[in-house]
Amino acid sequence: MMITLQKANPLEDKTLEELGFTWHTDSDGSKYVSDELVQISQDEAEAYYEATNAIYDMYVEAAEYVIKNELFFELGIPFNLVDIIKKSWDNDVHWHIYGRFDLAGGIDDKPIKLIEFNADTPTGLFETALLQWAILKHNEMDEEKQFNNVYEAISNNFKRLITLFDDTDNFNERYDGWKILFSSMDGNDEEEATTRLLQQIATDAGFNTSFEYLGNVQFNENGILDAHDNSYEYWFKLYPWEDIAHDEPELATTISNIISNQKAIILNPAYTLLFQSKGMLKILSDLFPDSPYLLKTSFEPLEGIKQVEKTVFGREGANTKIIDSKGSVLEEVEGPYGNYKKVYQEYVEFPKDLQGAKYQAGIFFAYEACGMSFRKGGEIMNNMSKFVGHVIV
């Protein structure tokens, strides 16, 4: 399963910085953005699109199943978010803006397999929506040769906060000035740029928007306010729901009341934490045993096959182990998520390049699959993995 690469002139650091992309160099001094592009065929791009839409539909069915059968504990969902999750699930106004699926395969006729779903706070948005397009442009390549409609798709999905399933052309007629506040942690450039990009997309869609660092946002039973006491109908937070539950339990209660009293809508909605839980991989594997996109997954170690142990919540590959068929650990990444429940997912090989580096496809989803890019790394993708754009040949 070999990846085909194409050299491209990289954008200079100075240019990247002018574009607002400051995290171009990793902590070991290496470039985060590859100077190569993955070549994929039109059919491969279409197959990623189909697979992603099918997987999202399965997630929706599985979430319905989890809620109906009260399986929150099994998924490791903090008890103080259960109520918010149910409420957000019950009303379509809690619209899922965007997520990113991580997939293996899809190249050289190898089947596409779901690795996990970053549904709550996905990053890689700036790189996928803007940067890989800029690389094509910079190299005077055909900009249409890329599966990348991320910006427009997310813009339309913001409009659906107002129009829901109806035609987004009705947005202007129905929109009544409701405001969205965007927030991320102060001091994290990547998260802030991601959040500000989403704000820009929402502004382009026609919303009144503002930005406030998380630490300055005010919450009370009546709503969500910025530092200047302006209240907002929507709040987008690039901050994990499970961290709110564990680190800010008082806030979780306040937010629950805000949602119950219909004072504000929080994005991405609380139910995206169900999607985010890797426990869902087990539920999916039970509900859809014949799906070609799913890997066998269990809450117990799998018998006699090579597998990956992950925690239900955990980011950037932390607390991940690769275990061979006899139960020996082949590779392990430590991390802060060790207290979470574990899942065991059948191992699958990622496509590789000539140097043996592995490639994981990331497909963005906003109402439908809308664009893709790759991460290049070792056996376990972590925060040292590199961003690689793609070109359709």
What is the size of the binding site for other proteins (CB under 8 A)? Answer: 72
Work out whether 125 is an interface residue with other proteins (CB under 8 A): no
Site for other proteins in 26-85 (CB under 8 A): 42, 45-46, 49-50
Cα 246 to Cα 141, 228, 270, 304: the distances in Å are 47, 28, 14, 36
Which of 218, 256, 298, 382 touches other proteins (CB under 8 A)? Answer: 218
Site for other proteins in 224-253 (CB under 8 A): 225, 228-231, 233, 239, 248, 250-251
Q: Measured from the CB of residue 297, what is the shortest distance to other proteins in angstroms?
A: 28
Which of 28, 167, 173, 176 touches other proteins (CB under 8 A)? Answer: 176
Work out whether 87 is an interface residue with other proteins (CB under 8 A): no
Site for other proteins in 269-288 (CB under 8 A): none
Work out whether 143 is an interface residue with other proteins (CB under 8 A): yes
For 34, the 3-state DSSP assignment is strand
Give bridge partners of residue 373 from the DSSP assignment: 362
Work out whether 173 is an interface residue with other proteins (CB under 8 A): no
Q: Measured from the CB of residue 303, what is the shortest distance to other proteins in angstroms?
A: 39
Site for other proteins in 293-352 (CB under 8 A): none
> Edge-to-edge, what's the strand order for the sheet holding 386-392?
5-7, 33-40, 386-392, 369-377, 358-365, 99-104, 113-118
How far apart are alpha carbons 119 and 117 in whole angstroms? 6
Work out whether 13 is an interface residue with other proteins (CB under 8 A): no
Work out whether 134 is an interface residue with other proteins (CB under 8 A): yes
Q: Measured from the CB of residue 15, what is the shortest distance to other proteins in angstroms?
A: 6
Q: Report residue 59: phi and psi, to 5°.
A: -60, -40
Work out whether 214 is an interface residue with other proteins (CB under 8 A): yes
Q: How many residues make up the chain in this entry?
A: 393
Work out whether 178 is an interface residue with other proteins (CB under 8 A): yes
Q: Measured from the CB of residue 98, what is the shortest distance to other proteins in angstroms?
A: 15
Compare residues 218 and 382 and give the one whose CB is closer to other proteins. 218
Torsion of CA 22, 23, 24, 25, to 10 degrees: 120
Q: Could you tell me the two tokens for 337?
A: 């998520």
Minimal CA–CA distance to 134: which of 15, 3, 7, 42?
Answer: 15
Which of 4, 6, 39, 203 touches other proteins (CB under 8 A)? Answer: 203
Question: Contact, 363 vs 40, CB < 8 A?
Answer: no
Question: Which residues does 159 contact at the CB level (< 8 Å), separation at least 6?
Answer: 168, 171, 205, 206
